[in-house]
Amino acid sequence: MTKAIISITSTSTLFSEVREIAKKLDRGEILPEADYHLSFSDSAQLFRELTPARLALLEHLKKDGPQSIYALAKQLGRNYSNVHADVRKLMEHHLIDKTEDQQVFVPWDDVEIHLSLSVSE
């Protein structure tokens, strides 16, 4: 099962996690297959990038499967250019992808958002 995990991670925590992975690789350890992790520095950044409209789009695609951006805009009752911009942003974050025939889809079996307001440096 593939999973995209979206979270808030402080810079120091992120660097610490990367150092631990590097140490394991240096020791020749085989790392388990990893989920996709998308980290933001704080909740403001997370909600700036993953707006309610983008989350609704992601949820709709996850539920209904691959479709064109035009069909997606029509089903969501939104302007095509706004949906296109949101699709582009979600693709930048690797939360959606395109098929060979240009239909957009969620490539993950599950998408989780982990939000803790107690994150500190």
Instruction: Fold for 3-114, please state it.
Output: Arc Repressor Mutant, subunit A (1.10.10)
**Average pLDDT for runs of 10 along the chain of length 121:** 83 67 79 76 91 96 96 97 98 96 95 74 47
- 17-52 pLDDT, tens digit per residue, is 667 777 877 888 776 566 888 888 888 999 999 999
Packing angle of the helix pair 52-64, 69-76 (nearest 10 deg): 110
How would DSSP label each residue in 44-107?
A: HHHHHHS-HHHHHHHHHHHHH--B-HHHHHHHHT--HHHHHHHHHHHHHTTS-EE-TTS-EE--
